Structure 1
Amino acid sequence: METASLTSDDWLELALAELKDYGYVALKAQPLAKKLNVTRGSFYHHFESLENFHAAVISHWSDRSSGQIIQTAQTANDCHKALDELLQKVLNSGEELERAVRSWSTVQASVAEAVHRVDQERIKVAETLLIDGGVSKSAAAVRAKLLYWAAIGRLMLPFPANNRLSQDEISDFATLMFQDQ
């Protein structure tokens, strides 16, 4: 890859791949520059500091992992179908990168704060779908949190790929979330 054509997105894509494969310890300017076959100066051309880069990595992770899913859910005409589709995606994807980001958040406060903001945004989307589907605000708040906690909990199991529900089971679960108390 030539330095002239290198973009900040190139750095961020590599960072997510390295984070997923090797953890947060791989997110350093020099090793990443070497993998991109450029100097460390290229890193600082795109990012003011390592802290700035880390913030950009988390933002990029959020956009890639949930940005489109959230946008689709927020613009859906059918909240029941939207929650089902949201749960289908969330309960059947993202193990490696999500686990790596959450591991990183246990050792770096700025990452923990950023992950917390993403978590709250994701929970709010589910809560809004439930409210739009007729669930009371108080019940929707609790159900959205439990849905999210269950999804994250599955990801943190030793073998999350072995702990999946079928599409029909997820659809039944989504339907259950709209039932009266």
Structure 2
Amino acid sequence: MASNRDWLEAGLVLLAEQGAPSVTIERLADRLGLSKGSFYHHFKGMSGYRTALLEHFEAERTTRFVELAEQAQGDRLRALMDLVLAPGPGPELEIAVRAWALQDAEARTVQERIDRTRTDYLTELCGDAGLGQALYLVVVGAGQVVPPLSGRRLRSALELVLGRSK
């Protein structure tokens, strides 16, 4: 039996691969090899699921990153960079959520909160609002170019911004 988390993780994968319109009960059930009835065991309907999916994205890709960076010994900014650059769902997921936010008021509200939380935390870490925003814009922009910058190339761009700020 799949857990709520299994359904939400499957939704993030679908979202990253094919965008918000692809996240349907049928596709989720097929991906997990379960019946649609199993979906309704965990969620009241698609509206509730989408709300939970946005909350899960925020918790996994923002709240958890801040918490882990805070627990890091030493340089919290470097620890955060390591988390952001770690293998896993990368630019595709971020792009999909931003695209969803352009067409859905609830997704937009969540994306605005995520952006605010991330830039506020970067500002706190850097002690400089301009630098915090610049770092965030590099990460967001790196995901928007085709093909997206990732890994070593994105780290180099972030290091360049950090080096120039000193």
Settle same-fold status: TM greater than 0.5.
yes
TM-score range, shorter chain: 0.7 to 0.9
Counterpart check, 1:147 vs 2:143: no
C-alpha distance in structure 2 between counterparts of 1:59 and 1:108, whole Å: 15
**1:134 is matched with which residue?**
none
**2:148 is matched with which residue?**
160
TM-aligned CA deviation for residue 144 of structure 1: 1.4
C-alpha distance in structure 1 between counterparts of 2:161 and 2:120, whole Å: 18
SS at match of 2:27: helix
Change (3 A) 1:41 1:170: same
TM-score (norm 1): 0.76
Q: Is the 8 A contact 1:88 1:170 kept in 2?
A: no
Q: CA RMSD in A?
A: 2.6
TM-aligned CA deviation for residue 74 of structure 1: 2.8
Counterpart check, 1:173 vs 2:158: no
**1:118 is matched with which residue?**
114
Q: Is the 8 A contact 1:87 1:174 kept in 2?
A: no
- Which consecutive unaligned segments of at least 5 residues does structure 2 have? none
**2:9 is matched with which residue?**
13
- Which consecutive unaligned segments of at least 5 residues does structure 1 have? 132-139
Q: Is the 8 A contact 1:84 1:171 kept in 2?
A: no
**2:99 is matched with which residue?**
103
Counterpart check, 1:29 vs 2:17: no
- Residue identity matched to 2:42: H
**2:78 is matched with which residue?**
84
Identical aligned residues as a percent: 27
Q: Is the 8 A contact 2:26 2:36 kept in 1?
A: yes
**1:136 is matched with which residue?**
none
TM-aligned CA deviation for residue 90 of structure 1: 3.3
